[in-house]
Amino acid sequence: MITPNGLHFVVAYGGPPDIDPDKHRLVIHGLVKRPLMFTLEALARYPMVSRITFLECGGNSAPLFSPKPLQGNVQTLHGLASCAEWTGVKLSTLLEETGIDPKAKWFIAEGADAPHLTRSVPVAKALDDAMIALYQNGERLTPSNGYPVRLLLPGYEGNMNVKYLRRIKLVEEPAMGFWETKTYTQLLPNGEAYQFYFLQEVKSFITQPSPGMTLGQPGLYQISGVAYSGTGRIAKVMVSADGGQSWAEAALQEPVLAKAFTRFRLAWHWNGGPAILQSRAWDEAGNFQPTRAEFVARRGELKNVPPIGAFPNQHFNAVTSWAVDAKGQINHAYT
């Protein structure tokens, strides 16, 4: 995961390991008919595919569970996300060679980092669009992005895309490891646990204008931002400049790709008075961003204001509001 301050990287992976690529191996075992071990040279001989997809930390925007608005720019509030072209071997291709035992419903992915980060993933995802990634944007993976090989699960939360991948074990049930039982098991307002919520839900936010910027003279401005969904393509984005009282549909920049950043734009005439800018996205499956009130009713809210760099919860995707005052200054706000 690319992060601005390295916090998620250090906590999850303990720093990039010193890996000799000639000695690195990827093992697939467990509930398979024929366990196999792959060198990087062997992986490079398999047919490869490329796709553009986003990666987002499950804790991206998590401080916005705060009961009061937090002040920061877009990078600070929503910046634990990226979008790139990834190239590698489809995991289903390798599993076809090993042969899957029908009892296998999950697989455990393990990294070669110091903590040996592991995550449980449904086998159905492995057979869909999971990838053993070797390249990012046409170049070999960097150490911070998982060199020499990482798991790529398009649309799934960040650290499930295990870096420095060394082992895949097919099993009947999830491992219930550290990340699944501690970090990614949240209590809901009704007392039930929110667990195994892999997909990064449909989300959007305005990047321009946004906090840290100041509007000049009244007149024409372009509202622009990004939208994405772990389910598929973005179908539409609506934009409001009056706190949700009225909405207009934004233009989507082509091509609109599944599980990838989609840029949206809308012309807006600022009259020089107060305004509240919001965006709300829908994906092709009919999923949509909740308002903040809808989100809090379902997921809850913190009792106290957290540090802006904290990870007090996961998967915040509610509508975000930017308040513009009469001087053109912009701040994060709740409506």
- Give the residue ranges of DSSP H helices in 88-222: 91-98, 123-126, 178
Is the torsion defined by CA of 300, 306, 308, 314 positive or negative?
A: negative
Q: Quote the CA–CA distance of 29 and 168 in Å, as a whole number.
A: 6
What's domain 7-182's superfamily in CATH?
Oxidoreductase, molybdopterin-binding domain (3.90.420.10)
CA atoms of 2 and 161, how far apart (whole Å): 12
- Asked whether the predicted pLDDT for residue 5 surpasses 60, the reply is no
Tell me 70's DSSP state.
P
Q: 3-class SS at 184?
A: coil
Average pLDDT of 300-312?
Answer: 91
Q: What is residue 182's predicted lDDT score, i.e. its pLDDT?
A: 80
pLDDT at 184: 83
* Cα distance between residue 66 and residue 68, in whole Å: 5
Q: Please give the average per-residue pLDDT across 287-304, as a whole number.
A: 95
Fold adopted by 203-333: Immunoglobulin-like (2.60.40)
**pLDDT for 1:** 34
Backbone angles phi, psi at 30, to 5 degrees: 90, -130
Instruction: From 325, 328, 87, 77, select the one nearest 207 (Cα to Cα).
Output: 77
The whole-number average pLDDT for the span 93-113 is: 97
Q: Where are the domains of the chain?
A: 7-182, 203-333
Does the pLDDT at position 2 exceed 70? Answer: no
Transcribe 258-307 into DSSP letters.
TTS-EEEEEEEEE-SS-EEEEEEEEETTS-BPPPHHHHHHHH---SSPPP
Across 66-73, average pLDDT? 95
pLDDT at 32 over 50: yes
Average pLDDT over residues 217-234: 97
Dihedral angle sign, alpha carbons of residues 242, 243, 246, 248: positive
pLDDT band per the 50, 70, 90 thresholds, residue 220: very high
Bridge partners for 329 per DSSP? 214
- How confident is the model at residue 11, as a pLDDT? 55
